[in-house]
Structure 1
Amino acid sequence: MLHIIIRPFNELSTHELYAILQLRSAVFVVEQDCVYQDLDGKDQIAMHVLGIKNNNIIAYTRVFKPGDYLEYASVGRVVVAKTERNNKYGYDIMNASISAIEKEFKETTIKISAQAYLKGFYNTIGFKQIGEEYLEDNIPHISMIKD
């Protein structure tokens, strides 16, 4: 079972922040072999959605109100630890993120920049592709929207 915690940046403990950055680095930099600037100055304005299992952060997203990242509310840095993906925690962390946007920001339209290979996953939770595929950090991405 995944325990969800939602916190603004200034309420994250140093241990939580370290675990978040370690998870993001393990997946986005090491596993996906992508050198990019993860620390983009946006964590400070995001709400952070932590998925915790056995006292470890194994799933994570950050959510933004409209205008803070994209023109609509958005979800980014969606990540699940490689060893936990067979448990379908991606659905849990995304559903918690959608609920957080609805509750915290009173928004229902959500836009994401998704890695193209995850289109089917995002389709199952209500996102639809808009526009053409593009490269972001040398990885194929698509814009998707849920309203």
Structure 2
Amino acid sequence: MSYIKITKRFQDLSLEQLYQILHLRNEVFIVEQNCAFQDIDHIDQQCHHFMLYGDGKLIAYARIVPAGVVYEEASIGRIITHLSVRGTGVGIRMMDMILSDVEELLGAQPLRIGAQVWAQKFYEKFGFVKSSEIYDEDGIDHIKMIRKS
């Protein structure tokens, strides 16, 4: 599969890209994870949006959030891969690309995520360490994790 990475600020997204992003987030977070929550949260407008396409289809996404918007540190949120590519290494490739984008866009700095507990080991591979106790977010166990610059 050939991959195309695109990272854009919110105001530079095409309507089609925005639709694809919202569709994938809805498909994974709301339908697949059976979680009713307010995905559209007025944070997207302040973010860079990382999109990874495989064979012309959006297969992975994350938003890069500047420091001070959600956390004191910059953060990555809404990190997802399409069901069809899970277990293929796309998530690892995506995280490498995102971390490179973060450094290019925001400079070297600490980075925080709110991770679903089951994904802790995955994020630890990229230098994130647990920084909170388990907490419930929309019915799913999460932990905060931080990666030093």
Cα root mean square deviation, aligned: 0.9
> Where does residue 87 of structure 1 map in the other structure?
88
Q: Which 5+ residue runs of structure 1 have no aligned equivalent?
A: none
What secondary structure is seen at the aligned counterpart in 2 of 1:132? coil
- How far apart are the structure 1 equivalents of 2:43 and 2:94? 19
- How far apart are the structure 2 equivalents of 1:2 and 1:87? 13
The answer as to 2:14 corresponding to 1:13 is: yes
Structure 1 residue 111: Cα displacement: 0.4
> Where does residue 61 of structure 2 map in the other structure?
60
The answer as to 2:141 corresponding to 1:140 is: yes
Alignment map for 1:15-54 (pairs within 5 Å): 15-54=16-55
The TM-score with structure 1 as length reference comes to: 0.96
- How far apart are the structure 2 equivalents of 1:50 and 1:105? 17
Aligned partners of 1:10 and 1:44 also within 8 Å: yes
What secondary structure is seen at the aligned counterpart in 1 of 2:108? coil
- How far apart are the structure 2 equivalents of 1:122 and 1:11? 29
Identity of aligned residues (%): 36
Structure 1 residue 2: Cα displacement: 2.5
Aligned partners of 1:65 and 1:101 also within 8 Å: no
> Could you report, residue by residue, the CA deviation over 1:26-70 in whole angstroms, capped at 9, with x for unpaired residues?
000000000000000111110000001111111000001111221
Alignment map for 1:92-107 (pairs within 5 Å): 92-107=93-108
- How far apart are the structure 1 equivalents of 2:86 and 2:113? 20
> Could you report, residue by residue, the CA deviation over 1:79-122 in whole angstroms, capped at 9, with x for unpaired residues?
00001112121112222221111111113310000000000100
What secondary structure is seen at the aligned counterpart in 1 of 2:36? coil
State the one-letter code of the partner of 1:117: W
Structure 1 residue 133: Cα displacement: 0.5
> Where does residue 122 of structure 2 map in the other structure?
121
Aligned partners of 2:50 and 2:63 also within 8 Å: yes
- The count of aligned residue pairs is 147
Q: Which 5+ residue runs of structure 2 have no aligned equivalent?
A: none
Greater than 4 Å deviation, 4+ residue runs: none
What secondary structure is seen at the aligned counterpart in 2 of 1:7? strand
Aligned partners of 1:73 and 1:107 also within 8 Å: no
- How far apart are the structure 2 equivalents of 1:70 and 1:98? 17
